[in-house]
Chain A
């Protein structure tokens, strides 16, 4: 697996140090400005610990001086400028570079989706222990970030801690599939129906055309094509939904897609005519702008897909060794 391309592989405090150094050297942070950790962190939109470390570093480099009374102040002591507390938000700092956009995505968010998909892809096959250290090494991120990611996955009931406090993923039980389906059939139809006014007609007809081609070609449809069609309906169509909470919740309950994709990958794609016909039916309603029809058709599709996923999950349960991410260890 490829290493995720994070903004930088260097420690975060170094990124902050570079940024502050550039602003000091360029005069945007005037000599005499007091740099209080909390204020700097707030201005940059980052947490305090890396800022604290960056400030200490800048002091050692001579760009800042430190006094018990004023804390860190821009410039060397010999500059003789009186420390002054400025509103950092009022200063025109250059925050381009690795930190931009100004309100940086938290580090955990950058790796969350990758970790989520790594874990979902192994869960149908058994039980796996997640190595915090292995995760940190794999993504070159700190333990704090790893814990952020894992605790969020725990909130979504994807992983849990065992009696010896190890993080455990899986097995994906039939009940998890049932529970996810129950949520899915409540949320996704209304989310899709809410999206209808915002969906682009040209894109919709392209989606519809892709389904038609797959139906014409039914015996030779690849898993890649299936993935594409599933993304069209279950992700693409939900993108314009204004209510992100609704759209995100709908996405998180799409566990049957994971099972179906793994089945197609490991067992092979068989006749997917039914699934394709269901997709076509949903898209036809969407294209007509028929909200109620869309909801009914999608609910029918989700129910049928759930039954397929349930049967396929049982088949996956007899497999033992799928490809797994290096930070996962098979337990059972």
Chain B
């Protein structure tokens, strides 16, 4: 049973999410804008999901990513009433239009259906409030690509023996297996049937290769969060690795000539959304809705645009961005002025153009979305073998 430790009029909201989604500027602004005390808890690994599933009474809002089917099956979150979301109608409207279809994975399991299952057909109750999305690929130091090198960027670079001992990969099994599978496809010329849902044999294929590569010293390291990723490249001698956008903006801010690839094999798409704990009620539930509405208002997604993230409802974000920011991050046009990251540090120099182009152009490169594969248990076992090798 949920412990009611909130006194009326003084709700304390407990929010759990990943560090790159809840950087300090967002935490500070939320506390300032909302009449609620908020405890933010940053959990980057799989532990966040474990918490959400096993102890819904230990959080009020969870910034989920690609786990809605799991947490819904576990009844860890409650349905969100669209009538209580200030601009709730536009969520229903978007489900059936162009950009909604491009983000099908966001809307596929969004609406609560009459039979209690999640589906695509709009209804007034949703499993999660869509907030942000993006597309990830590997990053590399510009210096490893010679000027005469006409070859387009490929995931195969992660396994390329030219970068022996100077390559790194994320330690997260969900993200890592997808990137590794893309790399194996490219490096070995094989094709996996569904790269977002690998079979046991395909998982073995990828894991065996990774373990072999790791044992001969191909990988400099693995990383848990974007800060570790940035450090690996800054001081660890890594020249090519899995990369999240906040790591890129940080490294660029430090003057490192680094970029994110637009691999010819396509990229890894992701989205992150807000969920309300099944245990939240009363004043806390009110506070949770206030927090969700604050996110939907656009300020936080605008803040995250400065580290390369897209809002699922971009129109709400635009008014919080300077024209030159919108032009660079969303439209893929050259920066007219120096642009700052979410922390206020300059990370983009005038004249730079974002890799991969404009919002929908970049999203159209998504080959596979983050997902918990059917054989997740098996995958985790093999992935741990790789990490321990």
| Interface of chain A residues 75 through 95 with chain B (CB within 8 A) | none
CA of A124 to CA of B378 in the docked complex: distance in angstroms? 10
**Chain B nearest CB, measured from A329 CB (Å):** 14
| Interface of chain B residues 358 through 386 with chain A (CB within 8 A) | 372, 374-378, 380-381, 384-385
- Please state if A314 and B70 are interface contacts (CB–CB under 8 Å): yes
Provide the residues of chain B in CB contact with A314, threshold 8 Å. 69-70, 73, 372, 374, 376-377
Provide the residues of chain B in CB contact with A266, threshold 8 Å. 54
Q: A314-B69, A319-B50 are in contact. Are A171 and B377 (CB under 8 A)?
A: yes
Segment from A12-20, A106-114, A305-313 that makes contact with B: A305-313
- Please state if B374 and A315 are interface contacts (CB–CB under 8 Å): no
CA of A267 to CA of B70 in the docked complex: distance in angstroms? 12
**Chain A nearest CB, measured from B28 CB (Å):** 31
Provide the residues of chain B in CB contact with A170, threshold 8 Å. 377
Q: A174-B375, A271-B116 are in contact. Are A317 and B73 (CB under 8 A)?
A: no
Provide the residues of chain B in CB contact with A172, threshold 8 Å. 377
B46 on interface, CB distance cutoff 8 Å:
yes
Instruction: Tell which of A124, A126, A267 touches B74, judged by Cβ atoms closer than 8 Å.
Output: A267
Q: A332-B384, A332-B385 are in contact. Are A315 and B377 (CB under 8 A)?
A: no
A202 on interface, CB distance cutoff 8 Å:
no
Instruction: Tell which of A124, A125, A270 touches B75, judged by Cβ atoms closer than 8 Å.
Output: A270
CA of A319 to CA of B69 in the docked complex: distance in angstroms? 16
CA of A191 to CA of B49 in the docked complex: distance in angstroms? 41
| Interface of chain B residues 311 through 334 with chain A (CB within 8 A) | none
CA of A319 to CA of B46 in the docked complex: distance in angstroms? 10
**Chain A nearest CB, measured from B386 CB (Å):** 11
Residue in A124, A125, A316 whose Cβ sees the most chain B Cβ within 10 Å: A316
Provide the residues of chain A in CB contact with B378, threshold 8 Å. 171, 173
Provide the residues of chain B in CB contact with A313, threshold 8 Å. 377
- Please state if B46 and A126 are interface contacts (CB–CB under 8 Å): no
Provide the residues of chain A in CB contact with B73, threshold 8 Å. 311-312, 314-315
**Chain B nearest CB, measured from A332 CB (Å):** 4
**Chain B nearest CB, measured from A164 CB (Å):** 13
Q: A267-B53, A314-B69 are in contact. Are A175 and B377 (CB under 8 A)?
A: no
**Chain A nearest CB, measured from B65 CB (Å):** 14
Which A residue sits closest to B378, measured CB to CB? A173
- Please state if A317 and B50 are interface contacts (CB–CB under 8 Å): no
- Please state if A173 and B375 are interface contacts (CB–CB under 8 Å): yes
CA of A278 to CA of B144 in the docked complex: distance in angstroms? 62
B104 on interface, CB distance cutoff 8 Å:
no
Residue in B372, B375, B377 whose Cβ sees the most chain A Cβ within 10 Å: B377
A1 on interface, CB distance cutoff 8 Å:
no
Provide the residues of chain A in CB contact with B200, threshold 8 Å. 173, 175
Q: A124-B377, A310-B374, A312-B73 are in contact. Are A318 and B116 (CB under 8 A)?
A: no
Which B residue sits closest to A316, measured CB to CB? B377
CA of A88 to CA of B378 in the docked complex: distance in angstroms? 55
Which A residue sits closest to B372, measured CB to CB? A314
Provide the residues of chain B in CB contact with A70, threshold 8 Å. none
CA of A268 to CA of B385 in the docked complex: distance in angstroms? 31
A127 on interface, CB distance cutoff 8 Å:
yes
Provide the residues of chain A in CB contact with B374, threshold 8 Å. 174, 310, 314
- Please state if B46 and A318 are interface contacts (CB–CB under 8 Å): yes
CA of A174 to CA of B377 in the docked complex: distance in angstroms? 9
Chain B 80-100 interface 0/1 with A at a Cβ cutoff of 8 Å (1 = within): 000000000000000000000
Chain A 119-162 interface 0/1 with B at a Cβ cutoff of 8 Å (1 = within): 00000111100000000000000000000000000000000000
A217 on interface, CB distance cutoff 8 Å:
no
Residue in B69, B70, B372 whose Cβ sees the most chain A Cβ within 10 Å: B70
Which A residue sits closest to B48, measured CB to CB? A318
Provide the residues of chain B in CB contact with A175, threshold 8 Å. 199-200, 375
**Chain A nearest CB, measured from B291 CB (Å):** 25
A103 on interface, CB distance cutoff 8 Å:
no
CA of A255 to CA of B384 in the docked complex: distance in angstroms? 25
Provide the residues of chain B in CB contact with A67, threshold 8 Å. none
Which A residue sits closest to B387, measured CB to CB? A332
- Please state if B381 and A318 are interface contacts (CB–CB under 8 Å): no
CA of A267 to CA of B375 in the docked complex: distance in angstroms? 20
Which A residue sits closest to B382, measured CB to CB? A332
- Please state if B75 and A317 are interface contacts (CB–CB under 8 Å): no
Instruction: Tell which of B70, B75, B375, B384 touches A318, judged by Cβ atoms closer than 8 Å.
Output: B70
Instruction: Tell which of B49, B377, B384, B385 touches A173, judged by Cβ atoms closer than 8 Å.
Output: B377
Instruction: Tell which of B54, B74, B75, B380 touches A332, judged by Cβ atoms closer than 8 Å.
Output: B380
CA of A126 to CA of B54 in the docked complex: distance in angstroms? 17
CA of A316 to CA of B380 in the docked complex: distance in angstroms? 12
Q: A175-B200, A271-B116, A314-B70 are in contact. Are A332 and B381 (CB under 8 A)?
A: yes
Q: Can you list 10 A-B contacts (CB < 8 A)?
A: A125-B377, A174-B374, A175-B199, A175-B375, A267-B53, A271-B116, A310-B374, A311-B69, A311-B73, A316-B377
Which 5 interchain pairs have the tightest Cβ spacing?
A317-B377, A171-B377, A174-B374, A332-B381, A311-B73
13 further contact pairs, Cβ within 8 A, besides A267-B53, A318-B53:
A171-B377, A173-B378, A175-B199, A266-B54, A268-B75, A314-B73, A314-B377, A315-B70, A315-B73, A317-B380, A319-B53, A332-B380, A332-B385
